[in-house]
Structure 1
């Protein structure tokens, strides 16, 4: 179940099922959220978990304020989420989304009681930063420092810092975005990458039971998207992480080219 990078954009049926389904579902909710009535019901605010309004901890990530808000989040999430789903399984990734939303949401709420008690947030941006941070942790194990050349100068950036750089850039370009929410997403991604969230996952037999119950609708996905089953994912989750940067460097070294170019990663 090897992952390819960058992803093939020629056809949607090359994409994992949840990576395709989540943008579609959230877009439908965006259309239904006329007048922000759904956002008002499910947006997360600092007092929510303490008032046992727990639905907000899971569902706030599904709603967006505008089309641009939705589009930027889905665009930034597509690649890291697809890589994760291909190596961890579709249902497992769904569970991961819920855990990331809840753990980041709790952090946001605890801090918010002191600094922004009346602020409500929605959107996938925290999850975007969680997946970026997860990838940063895994890349750090292979390449602790990322080095590139800019205007004849060598610039070195600790790999673990890259999500924080994206948070800073986002805060500057989008001053109305939730800085504390993004930082909560980053810290949650670090926890995921370091393995501290493993204890919160259900046993594989529970995921297998879910797949058996959903066998008929899952079979309907053949030819539309790629569904990654738990039995296959169990094996791939136990395999050592393969660095995306190392693969890219090896490919560049083995392929002659008339010039060198710098790559950029887009985040929101």
Structure 2
């Protein structure tokens, strides 16, 4: 077993702050900044303990605690979980908010956050029925990574024909999310494969399915394109990206952040990949460790 870092070190939060200042706070559009701030705030001051914020078929459907659909995307297990999720969201948020405009991007985030949880519950309930294994219904998920997978589908939709790097592998954008889904689960078995898959399906519902049209109808836009607000921030500065792709920007910033703190992190304290699910025992253990600290 890997030894846990003391919670008081909060190295992930320090790296996140370093990342934001490297990008420049004035380069981050308001909705993206607001979501970043909300996640950090709820990490520091949770709206509920993790076992009351995570979402599962058992807790949400069987016990009727639907509030978890709102809480689970914005709560994180530890500072590394928060750091990797928010660093990934930073680049996606900047690019998509500038493309779609603040109002529509906020709408997309709201729908994706709720719908990813609902699709996750549907998949877990379906697996319970198909396999006659109730363990699928009690797996409790927490974190923003399902929404990130949905945003990745959307981002790749607006940048067709490009390539990205997934764990060092060069992959066509069309397949990047699926490759990442498999590789993350293989290299980090604790991640929620179903939660990530739910995000991919929500993204596909928007880009190739009826979700975008339904959202336009609900917003009263009629036949007006949901992308009509695109370019709301087009007059803003873009040259800070240096012509790099989203993945190249992320890789460079991540390397810079880690190099800035080289030697300050214990060798056996490898950060967890984002978006993993929690067993009851794991959360109880983390909670007890937090109280002990």
TM-score relative to the length of structure 2: 0.60
Indicate whether 1:129 and 2:140 are aligned.
Answer: no
Q: Secondary structure at the match of 2:49?
A: helix
In structure 1, runs of 5+ residues without a counterpart are: 1-6, 149-154, 206-232, 239-247, 253-261
Deviation at 1:89, TM superposition (A): 2.4
Indicate whether 1:16 and 2:10 are aligned.
Answer: no
Q: Does the 8 A contact of 2:42 with 2:74 survive in 1?
A: yes
Structure 1: how far apart are the matches of 2:25 and 2:151? Answer: 21
Structure 1: how far apart are the matches of 2:21 and 2:204? Answer: 27
Q: Secondary structure at the match of 1:236?
A: coil
Matches within 5 A, 1:135-154: 135-140=155-160, 143=161, 146=163
* Other-structure match for 1:118: 138
Structure 2: how far apart are the matches of 1:37 and 1:8? Answer: 29
Matches within 5 A, 1:52-131: 52-113=64-125, 114=128, 116-131=136-151
Structure 2: how far apart are the matches of 1:127 and 1:134? Answer: 11
Structure 2: how far apart are the matches of 1:91 and 1:21? Answer: 13
- CA deviations on 1:100-132 (whole Å, 9 max, x unpaired) are 122221221122121511111111011111111
Matches within 5 A, 1:228-243: 234-236=228-230
1:25 to 17, 33, 38: 38
Deviation at 1:235, TM superposition (A): 4.2
Q: Over the residues paired in the alignment, what is the CA RMSD in angstroms? A: 3.4
In structure 2, runs of 5+ residues without a counterpart are: 1-19, 222-226, 233-241, 252-272, 275-293
